[in-house]
Amino acid sequence: MARHGGRGWYGRLVAAAVGVTAVAAATSVWTAQAGSVGGQQAPASPAPSKAAPVSPVIAHASEGGAHAVNITIDDGPDPVWTPQVLKLLKDNGVKATFCMIGPQAEAHPDLVKQVVAAGHRLCDHTVSHDTAMDHKPEAYQSKEILDAERQIIKASGGVKPMYYRAPGGAFTPYSRKLAASHGMRPLGWNVDSKDFERPGTSAIVATVQRELHLGPTLLFHDAGGDRSQTVAALRTLLPWLKQQGYSFGFPEH
């Protein structure tokens, strides 16, 4: 995974994060029922089952199978570019995964709710997008991940992010396990479109077409500056992917 540099604008956006709420998982138990049926004790009834554990292994594959691609959109939401990306996805019948920065989600809850209402999935992309967080203490990593999770849940109206993507791929064993314990599958990528560098629409398209054989999870951005090239590239790539016989899925969870 390539790291993205020069992205300190997030750090300047972020005020001190407030608190971290830990969520304890419930344990499934069998409870005996009072009374009897026909002289026999009523059978035990199972309590609601615990959600399946989430793997801490970084996900790359698609739930859609071998000939599906995962469109992932990072760093938003942004009031200028996210609506344009959402319209393109809707026009092409595509669902995507939006990896959101906590303060961005907090600042634009209407956009977070639009993403959810359109059937897309949410991903925790930390508070300050620190691409060196894998060299920081565990307490710092925890605050970055869990505070962003809290901000995204609040902005969405209660919808939890299903994934965690480390900024620049700066995962650690600790951060992966922490995210998984909160129901968020660590999420990688196979194809970096390089759209963040704004190399030109044709260059973004060419990069995706050239590197698609590397795997199904494609990385784009809807914030962090002028994303007009990303929008233009998606306008070309989404129909092209369909023409190549690809379907669109979500990353494995």
Catalytic amino acids? 74, 221
User: In angstroms, rounded to a whole number, what is the distance separating the alpha carbons of residues 94 and 130?
Assistant: 30
User: In angstroms, rounded to a whole number, what is the distance separating the alpha carbons of residues 36 and 71?
Assistant: 55
Give the CA angle between residues 93, 122, 240 to the nearest 5°.
Answer: 30
The dihedral formed by the CA atoms of 243, 71, 248 and 176, expressed in degrees to the nearest 10: 150
**Taken in order 116, 20, 252, 241, is the CA torsion positive or negative?**
positive
CA distance readout (Å), 60 to 117, 141, 178, 183, 249: 25, 22, 19, 17, 12
Give backbone dihedrals phi and psi of 88, rounded to 5 degrees, phi first: -60, -45
User: In angstroms, rounded to a whole number, what is the distance separating the alpha carbons of residues 207 and 41?
Assistant: 67
- Contact by Cβ (8 Å): 126, 133: yes
- Contact by Cβ (8 Å): 163, 185: yes
Query: Which residues make Cβ contacts (< 8 Å) with residue 244, sequence separation at least 6?
Result: none
User: In angstroms, rounded to a whole number, what is the distance separating the alpha carbons of residues 23 and 45?
Assistant: 26
User: What's the half-sphere exposure (Cβ side, CA atoms, 13 Å) at 48?
Assistant: 3
